[in-house]
Amino acid sequence: MSLRTWVLLGTLGWLGGCAWHAAEWPLAQPTSVDPDWFAEGRRKAQQLQQLQPLPGRAQNLILFVGDGMGMSTVTAARILEGQRLGGSGEEYLLHFERLPYTALVKTYEVDQQVPDSAGTMTAMMTGVKTNAGVLGLNHHARRGDCASAQGKALLTLLEEAEQKGWATGIVTTTRVTHATPAATYAHTPERDWESDADLPPEAKAAGCKDIAWQLVDFPYGDGIEVVLGGGRQKFLPSSAKDPEYPTQTGSRQDGRDLIEAYKTRFGATYVWNKAQFDAADPSQVRRLLGLFEPSHMRYEVDRFLDAAGEPSLAEMTAKAIQILKRNPKGFFLMVEGGRIDHAHHAGNAYRALAETIELARAVEVALQQTDPRKTLIVVTADHSQPLVFAGTPPRGQSVLDKVRDRTGRPVRAEDGLPYTALTYANGRGAHVLPQGGAGFAETIHFGRADLTAVDTTRPGYHQEALVPLAASTHAGEDVPLYAGGAGAAWFHGVLEQNALYHLLRQAAGF
């Protein structure tokens, strides 16, 4: 036997002996780390050990949807809000992250790996996956083809809640006819058919109705009690001036004023500015329609620029719950932080994170105003966005800043230029290099901008992007889900998106 073999066998025997003795040694509390970390971890373990599912069915369902709110968005928003509150940020938890049950949700559609909001929200509302661009229809309906939609309609959770005698509500920062809110009540093969002006002649001839009209012509129960968001233009005729912007008019070509039609049919109070919204007393107002912009509502950080004023997402959520919970049978409310997605499409992480933080505040309001023994709260996203959180930033650095070393100096990439911790895989943030030299006149070259003198933490900064596109695409990875209250324990593991509908119904005892 060679000396090398003897050494190898001896080493293996020594390792085996160490492993045997280590199995007998008791584990000791580590002394080389901050004991607060150890104690906090132990407290969390004890909390989870004591966690018990709440008995009974949910008398109320609240579904929060952060449009485009992927995992990197949640992490970055958590750090930003924690830093705003005076901490280093990383240890902070957004209010919805404090809910006890979590899951991952697969977001693909029947026809796309990376989905859109129409098909994904339809899955959550109907229990059936469908095609991109399609609302409230199964996958046999072809996008933009009215004839193919005949007989393909699916009952939504909101419609079923109305059939059960529950109160229902929609709150969003987008147009109330936009894909996510529309998926709760509309059935159409084209998400963009928001007003009759958007319908092509062949769709009108085949009998398809625009989304705004479907909100007014809603046939289930006694109609939707609360509708709050943007989108006045889709409800007003082209002959009507907008009340806030006199140079703008409605878009409808059929001459209908659907705001007046909604008020007349449902006896609703209508508001379009902050003062009117604040004056609407939830103890007196039975139904509330609020349309605060011709199109989407302003970003949260820009609300102060609106002369007429707009309520925040948290304020709209609070008032909606106060009105809906007057129904003793229960209520279903869908709340969308819709402009997270829009800011991401623009490559503007600052506004996307601010919108995510506002969604968390809306969840906080809902938790304060409801009883967890009677109310199920679920927070998730329809899809993700290609926000990338990377680099080597030190703990406590502004999540919006350039990556710095421990002396505060920007870290340089291989091209000699600084870079930010937040970037996009694609979008408008790709830098166009100066043209020069013969043969380059008709060629566009992309590279990286020198961020040395750029304040990347300001609200208007658009993060760098790898692949140049006019706007970012969606992303295809799973999205997080957070749940608390009656029935929340069923939300765990890796879920197909359409399973959310079935779990919500199960929690409510439908």
Q: What is the CATH number of the domain that holds 292?
A: 3.40.720.10
Structure tokens at 448: 């990286």
Q: Which residues contact 197 (CB under 8 A, 6 or more apart)?
A: 238, 251, 252, 253
**Can you tell me the distance from the alpha carbon of 429 to that of 464, in angstroms, rounded to the nearest whole number?**
4
Structure tokens at 184: 């709760």
In a domain, 198, yes or no: yes
**How many C-alpha atoms does 218 have within 13 Å on its Cβ side?**
30
Of 103, 202, 158, 184, give the one whose Cα is nearest residue 510: 158
Residues 446 and 503 placed together within one structural domain of the fold: no
**Within a 10 A sphere around the Cβ of 296, how many other Cβ atoms?**
18
Query: What does residue 271 show for φ and ψ, rounded to 5 degrees?
Result: -135, 150
**Cα 344–chain centre separation:** 11
Query: What does residue 201 show for φ and ψ, rounded to 5 degrees?
Result: -55, -40
How many domains, in total, are found in the chain?
2
288-291 vs 331-337, strand pairing mode: unpaired
Q: What kind and span of H or E run contains 472?
A: none
Residues 340 and 211 placed together within one structural domain of the fold: yes
The answer to whether 232 and 242 are in contact (CB under 8 A) is yes
In a domain, 28, yes or no: no
Residues 413 and 290 placed together within one structural domain of the fold: no
Residues 68 and 111 placed together within one structural domain of the fold: yes
The answer to whether 319 and 288 are in contact (CB under 8 A) is yes
**Can you tell me the distance from the alpha carbon of 307 to that of 470, in angstroms, rounded to the nearest whole number?**
30
Residues 365 and 465 placed together within one structural domain of the fold: no
In a domain, 212, yes or no: yes
**How many C-alpha atoms does 78 have within 13 Å on its Cβ side?**
17
**How many C-alpha atoms does 105 have within 13 Å on its Cβ side?**
32
Residues 195 and 220 placed together within one structural domain of the fold: yes
Residues 301 and 446 placed together within one structural domain of the fold: no
Q: What is the pLDDT along the chain (510 residues), one digit of tens a residue?
A: 444 444 344 443 443 444 333 334 344 444 444 558 888 899 999 999 999 999 889 999 999 999 999 999 999 999 999 999 999 999 999 999 999 999 999 999 999 999 999 999 999 999 999 999 999 999 999 999 999 999 999 999 999 999 999 999 999 999 999 999 999 999 999 999 999 999 999 999 999 999 999 999 999 999 999 999 999 999 999 999 999 999 999 999 999 999 999 999 999 999 999 999 999 999 999 999 999 999 999 999 999 999 999 999 999 999 999 999 999 999 999 999 999 999 999 999 999 999 999 999 999 999 999 999 999 999 999 999 999 999 999 999 999 999 999 899 999 999 999 999 999 999 999 887 766 554 544 566 678 899 999 999 999 999 999 999 999 999 999 999 999 999 999 999 999 999 999 999 999 999
Residues 373 and 440 placed together within one structural domain of the fold: no
Active site residue 117: yes
288-291 vs 226-230, strand pairing mode: parallel
Annotated catalytic residue: which of 117, 195, 251, 472? 117
Of 260, 292, 300, 298, give the one whose Cα is nearest residue 276: 292
In this structure, is the dihedral angle defined by the CA atoms of residues 312, 317, 320 and 322, taken in order, positive or negative? negative
Of 124, 132, 181, give the one whose Cα is nearest residue 154: 124
The answer to whether 456 and 400 are in contact (CB under 8 A) is yes
Residues 372 and 441 placed together within one structural domain of the fold: no
Q: What's the CA angle centered on 5, arms 3 and 8, to 5 degrees?
A: 110
In a domain, 410, yes or no: yes
In a domain, 38, yes or no: no
**3-state helix/strand/coil string of 26-45:** CCCCCCCCCHHHHHHHHHHH
In a domain, 37, yes or no: no
Q: Domain range for residue 90?
A: 60-385+474-508
Helix/strand/coil for 432: strand
Residues 380 and 435 placed together within one structural domain of the fold: no
Residues 164 and 78 placed together within one structural domain of the fold: yes
In a domain, 36, yes or no: no
In a domain, 127, yes or no: yes
Residues 259 and 334 placed together within one structural domain of the fold: yes
Helix/strand/coil for 275: helix
